[in-house]
Structure 1
Amino acid sequence: MGSRILFLSIPASGHVFPTISIVDELVKRRNEVHYTAVGQHAETIAETGATVISYDSVDPVSVVTSDDSGRAPLAFLQENIAMLGAIESHFGENPPDLIAYDGVAAQAGRVLAKKWDRPAVQLSPVFASNEHYSFVEKMMEAAGPVDTANPAMAGFGRLLGELLASNGLEVSIPEFMQATENLNIVFVPREFQPMGETFDERFVFVGPCLGERAFLGEWEPPQDDRPLVLVSLGTVNNRDASFFGRCVEAFGDLPWRVVISVGGGIDPATLGPLPDNVEVHRFIPHLKVLEHASAAVIHGGMGTLMETLHFGCPTVVVPPFPDVIPNADRVAELKLGIALRPDDLTPERLRAALLEVVEDRTVLERLAEMRAHTRAAGGAVRAADEIEAYLGRIG
């Protein structure tokens, strides 16, 4: 029999999806996996054979997408606290052998690791950070000055201090928040990570951890040889009907097949009558579409971006929020596609960018190189190998 492993993540697809294939791999290897999850994510995780730990979520993602983004740290901390109660009740006096936590579930993961004296692994679906590169700083630069007067900021510090004290952790808040685990699994290839060469052996860059994801439904490729473009704003910030409308206007009269995935943010009917070459879906298996795609127009979320790199797909990135601007900047820096700011987003500019990116030989050459790095990174199998090896070294 293998080890008992606890996974912690927030209820956001971009954070949960990369872990599903890792959990599936660990379960197949006869490890006993427990995972905090709610809603549809709980159903998906249960299908891997893992034990789901349910809890009362505060739905922190809804805060991130609101105008009051300054509440986000407090909301995520409240989510961590909600997880903690359910986890401790679930395990009682028999804690797991290892804790694998998403970066946004770090408070719960680190508290439990200290309290139970168990090793921990940090899982990162975004860029890793060290003394040479900080994803949070880059995101804050994109967001603009922080409103330090927001009561939520003071509330965060007060609540985290209370959490540490109540669990007997004698550590300062900065030291707690800036801790680095001895194993950090990052879901990007090292070659895509900014300052990737500066990260030491504690960081393992496994690239995208892809899987079948049958829960996204089916899709049949068109029976013609027209080039195909995938359009998506991801699974969270996808309520901008005007963006999808501009894409229809930009690509509707091109000799292309246009596949639009709107998620749960809008009703596809709001896009009105569509040209014959445009199809709109709420959810669609991106991997199946990208296998046939000539290009993609995306918001720059790391999950979707890694999928495009896996297929070497030329990409136009339109980052609507600060958390994805560092990703778009990296695409432009490495010449893997074209990055547009939303305020530059006319149908004409979209069309020009699409036609440019698929003809740019430098982009195509760089994509071929990055596709090779992405596929060689190891994905879910390597992530599972690293977790088991880590347990073996400390066991």
Structure 2
Amino acid sequence: MSKHFAFVVVPGHGHVNPTVPLVEKLVARGHRVTYLTAAELLPAAVAAGATPMERPWALPRPAQRGYPFAYSVKVLVARLRAAQEQAELVSPALVSRLGQDPPDAVCYDSMDVLGPLLAARLGVPMIALMPSWANNEHFDLHDLLVRGGLPDDSGLKEELGELRLTQARFRSANGLPGADAPALAYEPPSPLHLVFVPREFQIAGDTFDHRFRFLGPSLGSRAADRGWRPPADGSPVLFVSLGTAFNDRADFYAQCIEAFGGTRWHVVMAVGERVDLPPAPDNFAIAAYFPQPAVLDGATVFLSHTGMNSTLESLYYGVPLVSVPQMPEQVVNGGRVAELGLGRRLDPSAVTARSLRQTVEEVAADPGIRGNVTEFAARLRAVNGAVLGADALEELLR
């Protein structure tokens, strides 16, 4: 029987892209999907067959002043508080609109409070969509970040204590479970968590029970975008990208030009829309964005921020990574890549043109890394995450 799903997703390519193949699969099976995210990201959902619904999104953004962009505990706490306030502000209008054609379930981004709030007010089941690490009683990413990843931790205990109180009040006032959850637990307990990470990459992956379905990465129709072709002369391709959120790094891109200009590499460098660069060497192709799956399909090494979406897409295509993380979660991602022998992680505060060139060359020449990545890619490609996710949703609502 056809069901109606509401997807409530944090505006961001790394949050939207993993969900699109699942939406495509649900629509292909005859289900309906209403997709809520920021207006500029809705076209991807529409192309997947969803009905778009714009959600307001205006959270404080850390200033970009080089790593780690002042991404302190205070900034993180301020963003979480603002998300709560915004969810309470916009939810009545969204509930009214959704109430005219109620969903059978709300599938919500686990880093967002709006989805659980809408599910509670609509009286329907809620399913967590996890674009990055899953958390349970054995592994807590947020604790790991606080202990080792977030800079400027002065007043940490007080900040987190106050945040825990505001989260408890928010959840209690809105009838949400999890009022006693730790301060950085973004989402209340759900009967089903769809994790867009493979279990073998997830830290402590063997400790997660049946409530967690590890789907891994899916590309869906994005894999068909061939808006880029490898160089005709067969030069090895180095793909350079810091993603779409924290990419205002003209200094880093200049280091890449110094490191790889005039070398054997054909460098494809995505720089976003906020930087001005000098003329590039002949072996560089520079643009605001490139179709990432198409470039990775022809790349030898990916010099990356190691956002989770980019990390898993690189591994899906069998491309080893050199990590230059731009925020704390990416530090963890790059560390996991190195731990599994799938690439190397650099200290973003100590990167030089020389270290970039040396590390990329070492990773490209390392047969152990190449073998590990090839094997990992084969395992990822053997799993159809969109099918697994659609099966799990249908099973839950059957």
Partner residue in 2 for 1:196: 205
Distance 2:177 2:25 in 1: 37
DSSP 3-state at the match of 2:149: helix
DSSP 3-state at the match of 2:220: coil
Unaligned runs of 5+ in 2: none
CA contact (8 A) 1:317 1:340 kept: yes
Corresponding residue to 2:278 among 272, 275, 292: 272
CA contact (8 A) 2:106 2:115 kept: yes
Partner residue in 2 for 1:257: 266
Partner residue in 1 for 2:291: 285
CA contact (8 A) 2:223 2:294 kept: no
- Residue identity in the other structure for 2:216: G
CA contact (8 A) 1:56 1:82 kept: no
Summarize the alignment of residues 331-370 of structure 1 with structure 2, pairs less than 5 Å apart: 331-370=337-376
Give the aligned length: 387
Deviations 1:36-68 (A, max 9, x none): 1222112222232212222332245x3486635
Following superposition, the deviation at residue 161 of structure 1 comes to: 4.8
Partner residue in 1 for 2:94: 87
Q: Percent of aligned positions with the same letter in both sequences? A: 34
Partner residue in 2 for 1:48: 48
The 3 A distance-change label for structure 1 pair 263 and 12 is same
DSSP 3-state at the match of 1:99: strand
Following superposition, the deviation at residue 264 of structure 1 comes to: 2.6
Distance 1:173 1:217 in 2: 48
Partner residue in 2 for 1:246: 255
Unaligned runs of 5+ in 1: none
Partner residue in 2 for 1:21: 21
Tell me the TM-score normalised to structure 1 length: 0.90
Following superposition, the deviation at residue 376 of structure 1 comes to: 2.4
Partner residue in 2 for 1:322: 328
1:77 aligns to 2:90 (yes or no):
no
CA contact (8 A) 1:237 1:265 kept: no
Deviations 1:91-136 (A, max 9, x none): 226531111111112x222233334432221111111111111111
Distance 2:139 2:281 in 1: 45
CA contact (8 A) 1:241 1:271 kept: yes
CA contact (8 A) 1:53 1:86 kept: no
Partner residue in 1 for 2:12: 12
CA RMSD of superposed structures (Å): 2.6
Partner residue in 2 for 1:58: 58
DSSP 3-state at the match of 1:289: helix
Distance 2:264 2:96 in 1: 58
Partner residue in 2 for 1:123: 129
Distance 2:360 2:186 in 1: 41
Partner residue in 2 for 1:100: 107
CA contact (8 A) 2:5 2:107 kept: yes
Distance 1:64 1:185 in 2: 32
Distance 2:226 2:375 in 1: 31
The 3 A distance-change label for structure 1 pair 80 and 14 is farther
Deviations 1:124-174 (A, max 9, x none): 111111111111122222114644479986875565455435434586342
Distance 1:44 1:82 in 2: 26
DSSP 3-state at the match of 2:267: strand
CA contact (8 A) 2:323 2:346 kept: yes
